[in-house]
């Protein structure tokens, strides 16, 4: 498999056509590289907001006034890959190779991310299921092949403990003068990158950290919105405007890799070598990682222009699994195998030639804007990934019930539609968006009333497209903790799937024990007469679990609890008028006692 991919890559160097009318813009961008990077490539200090001070340390450009590094250092550059595992539209790679006599393309394997966790509920590390680990390794292997076709290669290092330490050591040992890496706004990444940037600053190494994972830099949007992240999609879209053009330079070659001294350079391991035990499951994720696969998949998705122009996300079929109803490009966007800006502009190109097309929020471009929306809100919201201390999150007394949670996690709730989705998650690391909605609603406000953070953790580990901002954002959404508040709209674990897949083919595929259950009962097998259960070789309570809750009564109870929680949150936010009592944080904010207050929303 790898050999094939590598071979193909060498024979057919990547060609990525940009729309003709973009050529003027493209040459502008290219020209601008001679002096300084294009505007969106800079993490400009003017974009930094007070609350994010420290998020980015000083970033120097090639015009830096730092003491000149040694002659060889000035010409040695490192491009540090983390996400952004691609060659196309990669401003960090582009910046690193310019003027470099030697180029060190580095990826650091993180033992804390990859180390096998035997106690985990499914094969993989504590933080990533085996499906996503494999996707990552495939992406690295493909990236290596792409770089080799350009006369370079990927330098795969293994961190002993801390990734930042490993990068810093290599910077020093290889006498690097310029370091380039894609900006990453997740909290974990910000802390890691700060460490490296501090080291670089102290060592006189130029650092360039362009924005290219998302369409926009979250800080840019937040600044445009007066210092606060826009909390509705519509306001986000209105503020965002048009994303920058992708940087689509075509390389014939990259600068050669320099001497790596005594460093052990690893080949990209196969997932079987990482010690996750027996992973020869009956079925694994059908989605292969890598830029080559990403571009192929994108082209195939965009081939049907009519489909692109008419795409409406809410109308997709969550039970379609042989041919998913969406593009399944999310894992490629997550790892940066596909550039969101390139994808966006390819869609726009199709829109231009179409008579009519759908629009955000439901359109394909709308989906990319949702991605940026959640990146922006998560960047501007402290404690975004938890309920406590999160100002945009409703405070709800979720019940602690480990038994119910485990039944949900392991796909044995007794609701075949829910269980099939959770099994698809575990095996494939991917399921349709609306399927995610079904199970997220079921776990939280719909049936089990378990904390959304518990479900978030399961998704985060198992999804091949798991993405900190988007995953947390959607769990806030589905649990009616933020963004979305119509908690009486509950997905039925029976009728929702049935309307798309009345025969239950999706269930039969992922839960083989139910494959002979007549379609009249497959969504509620506990209602099947015992004779039917026997005939289908599936006795409910023995071969397949009884439902853990009764949806009718459970959802009613959930509605009631949500109503109470919302009322309680209203009280916290707007204390009774007469009371001069102490101050919720919100109330203090609204007290007109400082100039800052003017920037805040006023409720009067």
Q: How far is the CB of 96 from DNA (least distance, A)?
A: 34
Which residues, in sequence order, are bridge partners of residue 155?
106
Distance from C-alpha of 548 to C-alpha of 524, rounded to nearest angstrom: 12
57 versus 363: smaller Cβ distance to DNA: 363
The response to whether 395 counts as a known ligand-binding position is no
3-state secondary structure of 291: helix
233 versus 526: smaller Cβ distance to DNA: 233
Three-state SS string over 301-325 comes to HHHCHHHHHHCCHHHCCCCCCCCCC
Distance from C-alpha of 122 to C-alpha of 276, rounded to nearest angstrom: 9
39 versus 226: smaller Cβ distance to DNA: 226
Three-state SS string over 24-85 comes to HHHHHHHHHCCCCCCHHHCCCHHHCCHHHCCCCCCCCCCCCCCCCCCHHHHCEEEEEECCCC
Residue with tokens 């060609």: 15
34 versus 576: smaller Cβ distance to DNA: 576
Residue with tokens 């289908």: 536
Nearest 10 degrees: CA dihedral of 174, 175, 181, 185?
100
The response to whether 108 counts as a known ligand-binding position is no
The response to whether 122 counts as a known ligand-binding position is no
Say if CB 174 and CB 104 are below 8 A apart.
yes
176 versus 480: smaller Cβ distance to DNA: 480
The response to whether 307 counts as a known ligand-binding position is no
The response to whether 489 counts as a known ligand-binding position is no
Q: What is the DSSP letter of 536?
A: T
Say if CB 49 and CB 222 are below 8 A apart.
yes
What angle do helix axes 452-462 and 402-409 make, rounded to 10 degrees?
Answer: 30
Residues 6+ away with beta carbon under 8 Å from 478: 436, 437, 440, 441, 444, 445, 452, 484
Q: What values do phi and psi take at 67, rounded to 5?
A: -55, 135
Q: How far is the CB of 296 from DNA (least distance, A)?
A: 25
The response to whether 467 counts as a known ligand-binding position is yes
176 versus 507: smaller Cβ distance to DNA: 507
The response to whether 156 counts as a known ligand-binding position is no
230 versus 455: smaller Cβ distance to DNA: 230
Q: How far is the CB of 333 from DNA (least distance, A)?
A: 14
Residues 6+ away with beta carbon under 8 Å from 20: none
Q: How far is the CB of 235 from DNA (least distance, A)?
A: 6
231 versus 302: smaller Cβ distance to DNA: 231
Q: How far is the CB of 423 from DNA (least distance, A)?
A: 20
Say if CB 328 and CB 287 are below 8 A apart.
yes
The response to whether 317 counts as a known ligand-binding position is no
The response to whether 212 counts as a known ligand-binding position is no
Q: What values do phi and psi take at 206, rounded to 5?
A: -70, 140
Distance from C-alpha of 242 to C-alpha of 603, rounded to nearest angstrom: 31
3-state secondary structure of 560: helix
542 versus 577: smaller Cβ distance to DNA: 577
311 versus 332: smaller Cβ distance to DNA: 311
370 versus 459: smaller Cβ distance to DNA: 370
Q: How far is the CB of 587 from DNA (least distance, A)?
A: 14
The response to whether 326 counts as a known ligand-binding position is yes
The response to whether 101 counts as a known ligand-binding position is no
Distance from C-alpha of 72 to C-alpha of 176, rounded to nearest angstrom: 8
Q: How far is the CB of 439 from DNA (least distance, A)?
A: 12
Q: Which residues of this chain interact with DNA, rule CB under 7 A?
A: 230-235, 312-314, 316, 361-362, 366-367, 370, 433-434, 437, 477, 484-492, 495-496, 499, 563, 566, 569-570, 601
Q: How far is the CB of 249 from DNA (least distance, A)?
A: 32
Q: How far is the CB of 486 from DNA (least distance, A)?
A: 4
Q: What is the DSSP string of 77-112?
A: EEEEESS---STT-HHHHHHHTT-SEEEEEEEE-HH
Neighbour tally for 306: CB within 10 Å: 11
The response to whether 362 counts as a known ligand-binding position is no
Q: How far is the CB of 356 from DNA (least distance, A)?
A: 16
Say if CB 285 and CB 423 are below 8 A apart.
no
Q: How far is the CB of 433 from DNA (least distance, A)?
A: 6
The response to whether 329 counts as a known ligand-binding position is yes
Q: Is 403 exposed, middle or buried (0-12, 13-18, 19+ CB in 10 A)?
A: exposed
The response to whether 89 counts as a known ligand-binding position is no
Binding residue positions for FAD? 326-330, 367-374, 465-467
Binding residue positions? 326-330, 367-374, 465-467
């Amino acid at each position: 498999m790898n050999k094939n991919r590598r071979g193909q890559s060498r024979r057919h160097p990547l060609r990525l056509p940009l729309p003709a009318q973009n050529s003027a813009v493209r040459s502008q961008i290219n020209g601008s590289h001679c002096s300084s990077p294009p505007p969106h490539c800079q993490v400009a200090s003017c974009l930094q907001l007070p609350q994010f001070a420290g998020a980015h340390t000083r970033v120097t450009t090639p015009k830096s006034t730092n003491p000149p590094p040694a002659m060889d250092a000035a010409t040695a550059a490192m491009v540090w890959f983390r996400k952004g595992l691609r060659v196309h539209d990669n401003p960090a790679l582009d910046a690193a190779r310019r003027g470099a006599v030697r180029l060190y393309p580095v990826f650091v394997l993180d033992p804390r991310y990859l180390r096998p966790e035997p106690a985990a509920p499914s094969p993989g590390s504590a933080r990533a299921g085996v499906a996503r680990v494999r996707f990552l390794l495939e992406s690295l292997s493909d990236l290596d092949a792409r770089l080799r076709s350009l006369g370079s290669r990927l330098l795969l290092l293994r961190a002993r403990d801390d990734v930042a330490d490993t990068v810093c050591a290599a910077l020093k040992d290889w006498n690097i003068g310029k370091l380039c890496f894609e900006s990453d706004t997740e909290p974990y990444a910000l802390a890691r990158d700060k460490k490296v940037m501090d080291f670089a600053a102290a060592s006189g190494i130029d650092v360039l950290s362009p924005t290219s994972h998302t369409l926009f830099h979250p800080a840019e949007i937040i600044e445009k919105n007066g210092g606060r992240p826009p909390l509705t999609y519509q306001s986000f879209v209105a503020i965002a405007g048009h994303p920058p053009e992708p940087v689509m330079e075509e390389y014939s070659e990259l600068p050669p890799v320099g001497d790596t001294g005594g460093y052990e350079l690893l080949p990209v391991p196969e997932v079987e070598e990482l010690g996750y035990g027996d992973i020869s499951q009956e079925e694994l994720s059908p989605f292969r990682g890598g830029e080559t696969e990403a571009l192929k998949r994108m082209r195939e998705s965009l081939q049907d222009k009519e489909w692109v122009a008419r795409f409406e996300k809410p109308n997709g079929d969550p039970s379609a699994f042989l041919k998913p109803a969406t593009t399944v490009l999310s894992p490629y966007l997550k790892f940066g195998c596909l550039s969101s800006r390139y994808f966006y502009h390819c869609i726009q190109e199709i829109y231009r030639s179409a008579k009519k097309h759908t629009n955000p929020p439901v359109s394909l471009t709308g989906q990319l804007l949702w991605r940026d929306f959640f990146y922006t809100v998560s960047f501007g919201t402290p404690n975004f990934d938890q309920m406590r201390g999160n100002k945009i999150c409703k405070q709800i007394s979720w019940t602690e019930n480990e038994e119910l949670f485990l039944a949900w996690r392991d796909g044995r709730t007794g609701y075949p539609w829910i269980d099939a989705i959770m099994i698809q998650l575990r095996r494939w690391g991917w399921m349709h968006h609306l399927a995610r909605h079904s199970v997220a609603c079921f776990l939280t406000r719909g049936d089990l009333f378990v904390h959304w953070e518990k479900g978030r953790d399961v998704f985060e580990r198992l999804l091949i497209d798991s993405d900190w901002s988007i995953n947390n954002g959607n769990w806030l959404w589905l649990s009616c903790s933020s963004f979305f508040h119509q908690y009486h709209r509950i997905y039925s674990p029976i009728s929702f799937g049935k309307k798309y897949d009345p025969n239950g083919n999706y269930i039969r595929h992922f839960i083989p024990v139910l494959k002979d259950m007549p379609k009249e009962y497959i969504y509620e097998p506990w209602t099947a007469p015992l004779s039917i259960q026997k005939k289908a070789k599936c006795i409910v309570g023995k071969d397949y679990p009884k439902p853990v809750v009764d949806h009718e009564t459970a959802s009613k109870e959930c509605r009631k609890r949500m109503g109470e929680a919302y009322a309680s949150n209203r009280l916290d936010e707007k204390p009774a008028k007469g009371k001069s009592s102490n101050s919720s944080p919100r109330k203090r904010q609204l007290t007109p006692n400082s100039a800052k207050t003017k920037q805040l929303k006023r409720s009067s």
